[in-house]
Amino acid sequence: MSAAPAPVPVSAPASAPAPVALDVREVAVHFSGLVAIASMSFRVPEGEIVSLIGPNGAGKTTAFNVITGFLKPTRGTVLCGGSDLTRLTPERIAALGVVRTFQRTSIFAGCTVLENVLTGLHRRGRTETLAALLRLPGVRAETQRLRATAAEILAFVGLAHRDGELAANLSYGEQRLLGIAIALAADPRLLLLDEPAAGLNPSETEAFMGVVRGIRDRGVTVLLVEHDMRMVMTISDRVVVLNHGRIIAEGRPEAVQSDPEVIRAYLGQGVRHAQG
């Protein structure tokens, strides 16, 4: 009973680290005088929902802009599948399967719901679009395949019944879901969601949580920025807490939630945010 446990071999499967979808290493972002991110390192394990939380201005959207190539960091690297994303264009990064939604919805209001998703599907491969332009043989079948895929994505997010509606006529909550559907159309391996539940009522948020879990269950890794703490603490596998451009805590939701520094820096305010 008192014998010391045998040392676990380094190669034991139980101790093998999960494959990493994203490895953010010592990223810093300075905007002239302002330090938006002082130094940030964290990993997103494959197949998990990881949330990046923190007060307004903490640097969350800036981190998303760096990961997706919209902003070159002052320092640091972002590794994904052997590539350093800080050296690639947003288009190349999206082609690698790193896809984002924006803090404010970006949908084509004058197009139907289905057309919005089709637009996202066309971003998957230039050849499909080119073939359509040149009216090459097989385009009709290809068009039907794309429409079927779009319909499947709409069913997944719960918007199948709205497919022919103009996007402008959707409720705010439905527009947020359409934003997710457009992002899914780009076939992400890693999906970055910037405040997807902002402005949603509790029942819409509940439905949204189911969609985000469903995305993870399809094998897509999710990096989530969200102020709704109930959503974050319920669906996240890991939580990373940013404050003034620095990571002050990271770990399982239960551990982060009870971390005194996190409570001091954010969660007190987070409760006000959620009520306000």
Residue 31 contact among ligand ATP, Mg ion, none, beta carbon within 5 to 8 Å by kind: ligand ATP
CB of 10 to ligand ATP, least distance (A): 38
Do 178 and 167 form a contact (C-beta atoms < 8 A)? yes
Residue 149 contact among Mg ion, ligand ATP, none, beta carbon within 5 to 8 Å by kind: none
CA distance 181 to 113: 9
Where are the extended beta strands (E) located within the chain? Answer: 20-31, 34-45, 49-53, 75-80, 83-84, 98-100, 190-194, 221-225, 238-243, 246-251
CB of 242 to Mg ion, least distance (A): 10
101 counts as binding Mg ion under rule CB under 5 A: no
Residue 133 contact among Mg ion, ligand ATP, none, beta carbon within 5 to 8 Å by kind: none
Residue sitting closest to Mg ion (CB) = 61
Structure tokens at 1: 């009973």
Structure tokens at 84: 């350093």
Per CB under 6 A, residues contacting ligand ATP are: 31, 34, 36, 54, 56-62, 103
Judged by beta carbon, residue 43 or residue 60, the one nearer Mg ion is 60
Q: What type of residue is 79?
A: L
Judged by beta carbon, residue 36 or residue 232, the one nearer ligand ATP is 36
51 counts as binding Mg ion under rule CB under 5 A: no
Q: Rounded to the nearest 10 degrees, how much is the dihedral formed by the CA atoms of 254, 256, 262, 264?
A: 20
CB of 269 to Mg ion, least distance (A): 15
Judged by beta carbon, residue 36 or residue 80, the one nearer ligand ATP is 36
68 counts as binding Mg ion under rule CB under 5 A: no
Residue 15 contact among Mg ion, ligand ATP, none, beta carbon within 5 to 8 Å by kind: none
Judged by beta carbon, residue 52 or residue 267, the one nearer Mg ion is 52
CB of 176 to ligand ATP, least distance (A): 16
Judged by beta carbon, residue 96 or residue 225, the one nearer Mg ion is 225
CA distance 111 to 117: 10
Judged by beta carbon, residue 102 or residue 156, the one nearer ligand ATP is 102
Structure tokens at 215: 């995305």
234 half-sphere exposure, CB direction, 13 A CA radius: 14
Among 51, 59, 61, 190, binds Mg ion (CB under 5 A): 61
Structure tokens at 97: 């399967």
CB of 139 to Mg ion, least distance (A): 41
Do 124 and 74 form a contact (C-beta atoms < 8 A)? no
Which of 221, 254, 249 minimizes the C-alpha distance to 18? 221
Find the part of the chain contacting Mg ion (CB under 5 A) among 55-63, 120-128, 206-214, 226-234: 55-63
221 counts as binding Mg ion under rule CB under 5 A: no
Which of 106, 97, 47 minimizes the C-alpha distance to 67? 97
Structure tokens at 173: 């909550």
Binding region for Mg ion (CB under 5 A):
60-61
